[in-house]
Amino acid sequence: MKSNALRIITCCLFAIALFACEKEENESIEELLTGVWVLSEKTIDGQSVTLSDCEKESTIEFLDNNICILYDGCEESTINSGWSYQYDMLNIAVHLPAAYYVEHIDKSSLEISRYDISTEGELTLTVFYYLKQL
Amino acid sequence: MSKYSLLLPFILLALFSACEKESDDLNNSLLPGFWAQEAIFVNGSPVGLSECEQSTRLLIEANGVYRLFSSCDDQERAGTWYITNDTLLDLTMDRLRNNNYEPYPVRFTILSLTEDELEIRIRTFVGERKKLVLFTPLPQDDLTGMSPEEILELDRYNKTLKTYIYRFSKNL
């Protein structure tokens, strides 16, 4: 009886040891990012910024081949760029050296933030909220 | 004691050690953050910081990219960073060449890196320091109206080796 219990515990621990360390998190964020995201809201240092109608038409499309398509609703222009998710940061080539932190992501909403240095030498935090285009 | 009991310690060891990050270097995790220039030492002596030198800020992020701001020329500069052997900090920095700034690899020795403080050292020529934006740009030599002797004297001075230490404190 005791030996059986020990066997079961051993098997369970083996299973945990084999599967617990797999890095699913980064992959799942990359998978979740894939698609077209529409800008819905923006805050700077916690203060909400009113978006114009054309800004609300701005989108980012992340393709699974690490290409992204940025559409500026006000300029009505499209930029093709590259993207990657490494070191827990979202890098969009045309926005470098600034990179983004994924604060929240699910199948319908995305929240990314970036730091910048103001002309006064202060750190500012801008948060962008996106909704997935259906 | 059954063979399962003998295996148990190894399984537990695997459980608690296998999940460590591939590169969990202490310095790599301490460096990212927002740093303010606090002090400069030249050949061991502290140098009084000008107002714009005090404004120098470094935003270092985990993806290997940093941004540098100084009110000396109100410019934001950017480059890459890399830590080797936990003791050397490699930064690509702006260097003046033919009146243009170009990225240039610069290696510092890390003297101290804690949660709150970063202290790095570089030994270089005075003339090289003038060309390199070591966190703050310096005025360039103006040879206008200088006699050949004065130019020679300046050239000798520019070929002097000095040790520069930069200390930053973390703002975030």
Q: Across the interface, do B18 and A86 touch by the CB < 8 Å criterion?
A: no
B1 vs A: CB within 8 A: no
Q: Nearest-CA neighbor of B132 among B88, B101, B165?
A: B101
A36 vs B: CB within 8 A: no
Q: Across the interface, do B57 and A117 touch by the CB < 8 Å criterion?
A: yes
Residues of A in contact with B7 (CB under 8 A): 10
Q: Across the interface, do B57 and A121 touch by the CB < 8 Å criterion?
A: yes
Nearest to A7 among B4, B64, B69 (CB): B4
Q: What DSSP string runs through A34-88?
A: -EEEEEEEEEETTEEEPPPTTGGG-EEEE-TTSEEEEEETTTTEEEEEEEEEETT
Residue A11: pLDDT band with limits 50, 70, 90:
low
**A 57-116 → B contacts, CB under 8 A:** 86-89, 91, 96-99, 115-116
Q: Is B161 helix (H, G, I), strand (E, B) or coil?
A: strand
How far does the CA of residue B22 sit from the closest CA of chain A (Å)?
11
Residue B74: pLDDT band with limits 50, 70, 90:
confident
Residue A14: pLDDT band with limits 50, 70, 90:
low
Domain locations along chain A? 24-132
Listed range (B20-24, B61-65, B66-70, B132-136) with the worst mean pLDDT: B20-24
How far does the CA of residue B27 sit from the closest CA of chain A (Å)?
15
Which of B1 and B124 is assigned the larger pLDDT? B124
Give the model confidence (pLDDT) of B117-138 as tens digits. 999 999 999 999 999 999 999 9
Extract the tokens encoding A22. Answer: 């797999």
The Cα-based distances of B136 to A117, B104, B129, B161 in angstroms read 15, 15, 10, 19
Cβ pairs bridging A and B (under 8 Å):
70
B66 vs A: CB within 8 A: yes
First to last CA, chain A: 56
Q: Tell me, what's the pLDDT at B133? A: 94
Cα B44 off chain centre by: 17
Listed range (A119-123, B109-113, B132-136, B163-167) with the worst mean pLDDT: A119-123
B4 vs A: CB within 8 A: yes
Residues of A in contact with B18 (CB under 8 A): 17, 21
Q: Tell me, what's the pLDDT at A96? A: 94
* Residue of A24, A123, A124, A126 best to disrupt the B interface, most CBs of B under 10 A: A123
Q: Does pLDDT of B53 surpass 80?
A: yes
Q: Does pLDDT of B4 surpass 80?
A: no
Q: Which CATH class is domain A24-132?
A: mainly beta
Nearest to B63 among A6, A87, A119 (CB): A87
The answer to whether B81 and B64 have CB atoms below 8 angstroms apart is yes
Q: Across the interface, do B63 and A91 touch by the CB < 8 Å criterion?
A: yes
* Residue of A13, A16, A90, A96 best to disrupt the B interface, most CBs of B under 10 A: A13
Domain locations along chain B? 23-140+149-170
Cα-based angle A27, A30, A32 (whole degrees, multiple of 5): 110
Q: Tell me, what's the pLDDT at B7? A: 55
Between CA B65 and CA A117 the distance in angstroms is 14
| ipTM score above 0.90 | no
A123 vs B: CB within 8 A: yes
Q: Does pLDDT of A124 surpass 90?
A: yes
Between CA A125 and CA A42 the distance in angstroms is 11
Between CA A30 and CA A25 the distance in angstroms is 9
**Is the domain B23-140+149-170 a CATH 3.30.200.20 member?**
no
How far does the CA of residue B160 sit from the closest CA of chain A (Å)?
33
Mean pLDDT of chain B: 88
Q: Tell me, what's the pLDDT at A119? A: 86
